[in-house]
């Protein structure tokens, strides 16, 4: 029985229950289960993920401070790996995961006390190393160094640095050789007379370790192995330097320790080809190699590894054949391009390059992007040993329009350069889905290419030839002259995804049907039915995704979209789709009451002022509303025209080239700043001061075009 260090109350321990949050604890246990939920702990920043920050609390104990627990945006944190921080343990789950909470106190002096917590007890810091006689109690006497061992007299094992993230070299091949009896014992050496020849002879070379592969180390925990491959990432932690190594079978993290926070092997950089020896361990549940030697390979040795990697990637990346989900002429027209796109994505995964999917923030865009995600994530989990690899190496970033403009490209370049500078990551593959196939995106691709980043396009729009040379692969049937009237980006993306990962093909078969608001090809409806989705299931999921695409449109909503599309959550889809219908019907009612019907040279056009008679910042979006309005009005009107303050959208019963329409308007209003965004399927933008003139010119141009 003792007294609380803060209030003096008698307590079994060092602090009473009511003051646990007033003390900061230094954790010296070894498992998460030894933590006490509710208490505050000192920790160090291990690294960032999209969903929060990993904090090392003690020896092999790491927790996640989820971004939802922060009192600021994740990107606003100025913490760097290795920084000392203070967090609260909220929960320790059965699987060992530790949930952390934000502490408004970020300095030790802001707490009223400081305690050390071990697996069995807690005590004041000054008691941690002092026994009753003042001697250290938690360390054993160090043996004197052997003569010629290279150790400084009096040096201890602690001088090598902290051991919570990695251990310094422990012998490597020497240790293996000793265990096998190939190293003579001291007694044997003492009993053998030493001759001059023997004294002058060089020691016998130790047998080299035989190379193993990353996919084989799962069952070699505790063994010292040799790996050969390419360095695909380097990051410095508060303890070791962590190298990410890729061979022909996968990737693994390799920790190398120089001293706390100091870069080990500073000459080794991303894309170096190396030979590495080390012991296989588990670190926070993930496989990790405790590096003992790391050598950059040159000349023939390097070429051997490079050839091995390239051969494995070529063999594994390209699909054996192309087997489309269904018979669809527009998709069949790009079979070769589908194989090329699938190969490009698979190569990125195998080369440990992040995959960034940029898709339109529409129902079709989200479903198409989710198809690629569904295929890529299992491959990423298979190729990488990091537990959070699927968040680290794959990201969906929705785009508001159908153009990959300089704003979006600058955002991507900024993110990838930051990742390269902070974590030495490789440059990503940027996949454009349902967007980016027109010449307006060329500047964005040029910016990516200046930094060596690769891009590919998957788009149902009528594309421009200029894009073909700007990207690595383009899946755009219109470039080959195919009719794309009955095509969606999901129909293309789902077929690409099926060839990225054939194991998820069954998961993808219902997706094309979801992407059609009407007139879905019968082959896709049959696929959905066979997969267990009836007409109601399909429409509810489409409507639910469309609504959720609007909210937080810049976020991927990965888990929510997966629940709607893949996990059979009919109740969720029905609930969200009901909100969709209520909101859309309300807006449609307002639009129909305030539309005007105009006759121009015998052409009937429905006109809606989208500034005056829509809730511009609420659901539905202008594009979705005009699509729905045109479906309601097309029996009476050949075209629906939505005109706002500075942009014009048109929907017609017959296919129309919006770029040609924009050129016709520009000729009539030469000072209107008229230009087209998104190519032949895009929209027209203009100067607000010329709105009335553009309105009149658009009606005349429509009548001329559709006559």
pLDDT tens-place string over residues 335-353:
999 999 999 999 999 888 9
CATH code: domain of residue 400? 3.90.1640.30
For 388, the domain range is 318-533
Residue 547 Cα to chain centre, angstroms: 23
Q: What is the pLDDT of residue 173?
A: 36
pLDDT in tens, 474-506: 999 999 999 999 999 999 999 999 999 999 999
CATH code: domain of residue 603? 3.10.310
Position 22 confidence tier, pLDDT thresholds 50, 70, 90: confident
Residues near 65 by beta carbon (within 8 Å), at least 6 away in sequence: 52, 53, 54, 55, 87, 100, 101, 102
**pTM of this structure:** 0.64
Say if 590 falls within a structural domain.
no
pLDDT at 386 over 80: no
Q: Reduced to 3 states, what is the DSSP secondary structure of residue 380?
A: helix
Q: What is the pLDDT of residue 238?
A: 80
Q: Reduced to 3 states, what is the DSSP secondary structure of residue 687?
A: coil
**Whole-Å CA distances, 84 to 26, 46, 190, 665:** 12, 10, 51, 62
Question: Which H/E stretch holds residue 157?
Answer: none
- 501 shares its domain with 391: yes
Q: What is the pLDDT of residue 1?
A: 62
Q: What is the pLDDT of residue 205?
A: 53
pLDDT in tens, 70-83: 877 787 788 988 89
Q: Reduced to 3 states, what is the DSSP secondary structure of residue 278?
A: strand
- 470 shares its domain with 381: yes
Q: What is the pLDDT of residue 213?
A: 92
pLDDT in tens, 248-283: 888 999 999 988 888 999 999 989 999 999 999 987
Position 459 confidence tier, pLDDT thresholds 50, 70, 90: very high
pLDDT in tens, 672-697: 999 999 999 999 999 999 999 999 99
Q: What angle do CA 106, 108, 113 make, to 5 degrees?
A: 130
**Whole-Å CA distances, 593 to 190, 390, 597, 604, 629:** 105, 48, 11, 17, 11
Say if 552 falls within a structural domain.
no
**Whole-Å CA distances, 113 to 5, 106, 296, 376:** 7, 14, 49, 49
Say if 164 falls within a structural domain.
no
- 377 shares its domain with 493: yes
Residues near 148 by beta carbon (within 8 Å), at least 6 away in sequence: none
Q: Reduced to 3 states, what is the DSSP secondary structure of residue 114?
A: strand
- 509 shares its domain with 601: no
- What mean pLDDT is predicted for residues 216-241? 90
- 91 shares its domain with 42: yes
pLDDT at 201 over 80: no
pLDDT at 142 over 50: no
β-strands 355-359, 429-433: how paired?
parallel
Q: How far apart are CA 122 and CA 641, in angstroms?
A: 73
Q: Give the end-to-end CA distance of the chain in Å, rounded to a whole number.
A: 96
CATH code: domain of residue 87? 2.40.50.140
- What mean pLDDT is predicted for residues 216-224? 89
- 117 shares its domain with 258: no
Lowest mean pLDDT among 8-12, 218-222, 464-468, 577-581: 8-12
Bigger pLDDT: 121 vs 368:
368
Q: How far apart are CA 115 and CA 19, in angstroms?
A: 12
Number of domains composing the chain: 4
The domain boundary, picked from 83, 109, 127, lies at 127
- 290 shares its domain with 322: no
- 679 shares its domain with 638: yes
- 108 shares its domain with 24: yes
The domain boundary, picked from 533, 558, 575, lies at 533
- What mean pLDDT is predicted for residues 207-234? 88
| DSSP class of 238 | S
- 40 shares its domain with 88: yes
Say if 386 falls within a structural domain.
yes
Q: What is the pLDDT of residue 139?
A: 41
What's the length of the chain? Answer: 707
Q: What is the pLDDT of residue 641?
A: 96
pLDDT in tens, 56-106: 998 789 999 988 888 777 877 889 888 999 999 999 888 788 999 988 888
Q: What is the pLDDT of residue 551?
A: 92
Please list the alpha-helical segments (H only) found in 167-298: 173-179, 186-191, 196-200
pLDDT at 138 over 70: no
Residue 353 has which token pair?
A: 């390059």
Say if 418 falls within a structural domain.
yes
- 360 shares its domain with 456: yes
Say if 45 falls within a structural domain.
yes
The domain boundary, picked from 312, 338, 363, lies at 312
Say if 245 falls within a structural domain.
yes
Residues near 661 by beta carbon (within 8 Å), at least 6 away in sequence: 650, 676, 684, 698, 701, 702, 705
Q: What is the pLDDT of residue 152?
A: 38
Say if 442 falls within a structural domain.
yes
- 272 shares its domain with 329: no
Peptide bond connecting 620 to the previous residue in cis, omega within 30 degrees of 0: yes
Over the Cα atoms of the chain, what is R_g? 32
Residues near 153 by beta carbon (within 8 Å), at least 6 away in sequence: 144, 145
């Amino acid at each position: 029985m003792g007294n609380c260090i803060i209030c003096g109350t008698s307590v079994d321990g060092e602090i009473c229950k009511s003051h646990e949050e007033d003390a900061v604890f230094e954790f010296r246990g070894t498992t998460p289960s030894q933590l006490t939920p509710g208490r505050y702990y000192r920790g160090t920043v291990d690294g960032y993920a999209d969903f929060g920050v990993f904090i090392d609390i003690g020896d092999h104990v790491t927790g996640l401070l989820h971004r939802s627990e922060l009192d600021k945006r994740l990107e606003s944190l100025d913490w760097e790996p290795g920084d000392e921080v203070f967090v609260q343990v909220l929960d320790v789950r059965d699987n060992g995961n530790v949930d952390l909470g934000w502490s408004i106190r970020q300095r030790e002096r802001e707490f009223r006390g400081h305690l050390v917590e071990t697996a069995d007890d807690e005590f004041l810091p000054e008691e941690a190393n002092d026994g009753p006689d003042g001697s250290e109690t938690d360390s054993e006497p160090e043996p004197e160094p052997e003569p010629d061992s290279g150790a400084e007299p009096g040096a201890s094992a602690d001088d090598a640095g902290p051991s919570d993230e990695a251990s310094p070299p422990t012998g490597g091949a020497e240790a293996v050789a000793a265990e096998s009896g190939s190293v003579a014992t001291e007694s044997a050496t003492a009993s053998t007379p030493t001759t001059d020849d023997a004294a002058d002879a060089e020691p016998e070379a130790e047998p080299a370790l035989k190379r193993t592969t990353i996919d084989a180390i799962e069952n070699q925990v505790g063994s010292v192995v040799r790996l050969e491959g390419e360095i695909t990432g380097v990051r410095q932690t508060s303890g070791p330097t962590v190298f990410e190594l890729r061979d022909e079978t996968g990737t693994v993290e390799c920790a190398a320790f120089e001293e706390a926070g100091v870069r080990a092997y500073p000459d080794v950089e991303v894309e170096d080809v190396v030979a590495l020896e080390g012991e296989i361990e588990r670190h926070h549940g993930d496989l990790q190699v405790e590096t003992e030697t790391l050598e950059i390979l040159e000349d023939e040795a390097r070429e051997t590894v490079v050839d091995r990697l390239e051969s494995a990637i070529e063999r594994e990346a390209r699909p054996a054949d192309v087997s489309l989900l269904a018979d669809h002429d527009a998709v069949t027209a790009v079979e070769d391009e589908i194989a090329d796109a699938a190969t490009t994505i698979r190569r990125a995964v195998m080369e440990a390059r992040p995959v960034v999917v940029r898709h339109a923030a529409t129902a079709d865009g989200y479903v198409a992007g989710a198809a690629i995600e569904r295929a890529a994530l299992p491959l990423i989990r298979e190729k990488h040993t990091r537990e959070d690899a699927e968040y680290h190496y794959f990201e969906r970033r929705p785009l508001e329009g159908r153009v990959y403009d300089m704003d979006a490209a600058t955002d991507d370049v900024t993110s990838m350069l930051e990742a390269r500078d902070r974590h030495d990551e490789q440059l990503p593959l940027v996949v454009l889905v349902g967007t980016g196939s027109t010449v307006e995106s060329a500047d964005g691709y040029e910016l990516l290419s200046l930094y060596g980043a690769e891009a590919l396009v998957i788009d149902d729009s009528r594309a421009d030839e200029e894009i073909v040379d700007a990207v690595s692969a383009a899946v755009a049937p219109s470039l080959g002259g195919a009719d794309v009237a009955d095509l969606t980006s999901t129909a293309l993306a789902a077929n690409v995804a099926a060839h990225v990962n054939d194991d998820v093909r069954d998961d993808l078969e219902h997706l094309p049907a979801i992407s059609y608001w009407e007139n879905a090809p019968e082959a896709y409806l049959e696929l959905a039915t066979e997969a267990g989705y009836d007409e109601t299931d399909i429409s509810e999921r489409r409507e639910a995704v469309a609504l959720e695409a609007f909210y937080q449109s810049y976020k991927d909503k990965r888990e929510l979209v997966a629940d709607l599309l893949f996990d059979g959550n009919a109740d969720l889809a029905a609930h969200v789709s009901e909100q969709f219908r209520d909101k859309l019907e309300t807006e449609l009612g307002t639009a129909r009451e305030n539309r005007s019907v105009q006759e121009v040279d015998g052409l009937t056009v429905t006109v809606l002022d989208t500034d005056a008679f829509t809730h511009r910042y609420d659901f539905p979006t202008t594009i979705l509303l005009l699509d729905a309005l045109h479906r309601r009005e097309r029996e009476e009107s050949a075209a629906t025209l939505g005109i706002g303050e500075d942009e014009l959208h048109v929907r017609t019963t017959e296919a129309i080239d919006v770029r040609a329409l924009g050129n016709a308007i520009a000729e009539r209003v030469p000072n209107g700043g008229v230009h087209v965004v998104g190519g032949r399927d895009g929209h027209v933008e203009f100067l607000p001061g010329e709105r009335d003139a553009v309105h009149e010119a658009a009606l005349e141009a429509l009548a001329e075009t559709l006559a």
